[in-house]
Chain A
Amino acid sequence: MKSRFLAGPYIAWMAIFTVVPLGMVVYFAFTDNSGAFTFANLTYAWEYWPVLLRSVWYAVAACLICLVVGYPVAYVIAQSTASVQRVLYLLVTLPMCMSFLLRTLAWVALLRDTGLINSFLGLFGIGPAPLIRNSGSVIMGMVYNYLPYMIMPLYTVIAKLDPRLIEAAQDLGCGSFQTFRRVVLPLSVPGIVSGITMVFVPAVSTFYISQKLGGTEDIMIGDIIERQFKGNLNQNLGAAMSLILMVLVFISIGLMNRFTDDEEVATI
């Protein structure tokens, strides 16, 4: 078929640059320097479980904050008139047009002890407030960077909600809160699930944000992996950590999708 033919280039691309490297990650994870089979990398990688746990915890926190902050934004955008929708949507996606590194560095300039905010507070003799080098600043950095990924799928789902369903809820006696809780929220579950997935996956493996905005205690699994490839040059350990992270992400996605295994909702 023609469509299959057109998908050919990407399938080849995937095979070469996704499947093959994945196989290589698995291979390195289970071998030592000499290429002999071993479980040592995985065992050693497990010793970093507190870091892994912290990464998950930061990612979950960032996800929940993104959801709480993003949902009302997505809802407001979806309820606006078409022209306002375009402007607001552009505003949400605009930060993504700027370099991720630049955005994170900008936060450093804002938050550090000699930064803009603390300098301003200093005028009133306050501070310097501990705005940076703690878990809060890392999570905030993640929320700031990944919020658009939450808002976009939520907006898409809410905008597609049939307005007659909302009228039907009102007709059957729902005030605005009940309408939201019983109709709008349950029907936006697919958007919530894909939003959480799209924020959680990059957040749990993030590395740069924690280096710039976090303290020494805020190191994340992504930073450790980076270090294995760039500093310690222990590729096998890095591969093992990546593999563990990947399995973790797969399990999380699997769990999330259980919420939408109801096909009615999933096909919206």
Chain B
Amino acid sequence: MSKELIRLVDCRMDFDGETVLDSINIYFNDSEFLTLLGPSGCGKTTTLRIIGGFLQPTSGDVLFDGVRINDVPPHKRRVNTVFQKYALFPHLNVFENIAFGLRIAKVPEAEIRERVAEMIGIVSLKGFEKRKPGQLSGGQQQRVAIARALVNRPKVLLLDEPLGALDLRLRKDMQNELKRIQQQLGITFIYVTHDQEEALAMSDTVVVMDRGRIQQIGTPEDIYNEPKNAFVADFIGESNILDGVMRADYVVEFFGRKFRCLDRGFAKDEPVDVVIRPEDVDIVPPDSGHLCGTVTSVTFKGVHYDTIVDFRGFKWLIQTTDLHQPGEYIGIKLTPNDIHVMKKSVYSGMFGDYSSYSAEYDEINDPDAVIGGEESPEEALNEE
């Protein structure tokens, strides 16, 4: 498989006595599209700037191909950056902006022409060579910034929220374009964004960060389907996050009911966070529901309705293509793989709607019956 290119070892960054990065350990593989994802202030841009050489970590090592490069200045690193808001040189035209790095490296003129022309082709900017950055649209400036970095054939391209200033439509186009360029050139991309959709759509690996720490590293599917804690679950997509107790392997209890789930390895009766994705919940008639509640509001979102359902004080978000009017009394059904169990963390209780647990659920049914059947989860999965 691909080999490791960059590694951060125990990187810590303090600004004015405030810890911005706390013991970051991470490695980046060759030819990988890796995204650092998190809310503003989570340390993702700081991490990127450490790799680019604009910041030196307070402690810890930055390794490139196994060599420590903490003290190597930016202009001597085989890394190029696409800056937030592009940072194109306003006094140079498109051609000269892209040729900038090659001129500094004293590449022969003929080769400069050839390589810049090739790059202009890749980012589809033919005919714009003589324009100044101020005469280009946001999307075009963006592509110049990418070409200006890539023409130097860096080992790694760092991208700092490169699509943040573009409108939604252009963003989607540029996402596809970036992914195409990355695959075509086989360069490692390290991409910083706060947009989880962008991260999921483009990346081979997603690194979720918050408060200067890495919360989870994984493929987009892993991150979405198996969030490690309440923060990740809430940040990546919408989530209903409930308090639960793990009664046994594959059995979790919440709302006073026991549900079969796919998780094991917890201590008996360990308190846990339970995540239920709004799109996984099936709405059924009240008499066949595992839980019953009242619709309190409905918002049309195009593809689906965001339906808020009040389960006696605890509000869930359910996404469904069927319209259920506010006031309607409905039931919901949960299958074992709709339920994801996470260990308790510092983020527990901060996300999802945590109104207090309602004891009235105890009266609904036999509290000891396990919803989702008595069979093993493997069998439950096969039924899907």
Contact = CB atoms under 8 A, between A and B. Distances in A.
Given A173-B105, A264-B134, A168 B152 contact: no
Interface in A135-168: 162, 164-165, 167-168
A168 B91 contact: no
A178 B85 CA distance: 23
Contacts of B84: 164
A187 interface: yes
Interface string B63-87: 0000000000111000111011101
B368 to A, nearest CB: 63
A268 B132 CA distance: 14
B288 to A, nearest CB: 59
A263 B84 CA distance: 24
Interface in B35-61: 52-54
Given A170-B75, A173-B101, 13 more contacts: A164-B83, A167-B54, A168-B87, A168-B89, A169-B89, A169-B100, A171-B79, A171-B149, A172-B149, A173-B152, A183-B89, A264-B133, A267-B134
Contacts of A76: none
Interface in B69-122: 73-75, 79-81, 83-85, 87-91, 100-101, 104-105
A162 B86 CA distance: 11
A164 B87 contact: yes
Contact of A170 (B74, B132, B134): B74
A262 interface: yes
5 contacts: A170-B54, A170-B73, A172-B80, A172-B152, A178-B104
Contact of A265 (B90, B100, B105): B90
B131 to A, nearest CB: 10
B74 A171 contact: yes
A256 interface: no
Categorize the interface residue count of chain B.
20 to 34
Nearest to B135: A264
Contacts of A72: none
Contacts of A268: 90
Interface string A14-31: 000000000000000000
A259 to B, nearest CB: 12
B260 interface: no
Contact of B83 (A167, A173, A189, A262): A167
B12 interface: no
Contacts of B91: 186-187, 189, 262, 264-265
A265 B134 CA distance: 10
Contact of B75 (A164, A173, A189): A173
A263 B90 CA distance: 10
A55 to B, nearest CB: 33
B148 interface: yes
Interface of A: 162, 164-165, 167-175, 178, 182-183, 186-187, 189, 262-265, 267-268
Given A167-B54, A264-B134, A174 B75 contact: yes
Contacts of B81: 167-168, 171
Max chain B Cβ within 10 angstroms of own Cβ: one of A186, A187, A263, A264:
A264
Contacts of A182: 100, 104
Nearest to B49: A167
B170 to A, nearest CB: 21
A182 B104 CA distance: 9
A183 B100 CA distance: 10
Contacts of A262: 91
Contacts of A187: 89-91
Contacts of A164: 83-85, 87
A56 B148 CA distance: 44
B90 A264 contact: yes
B104 A165 contact: no
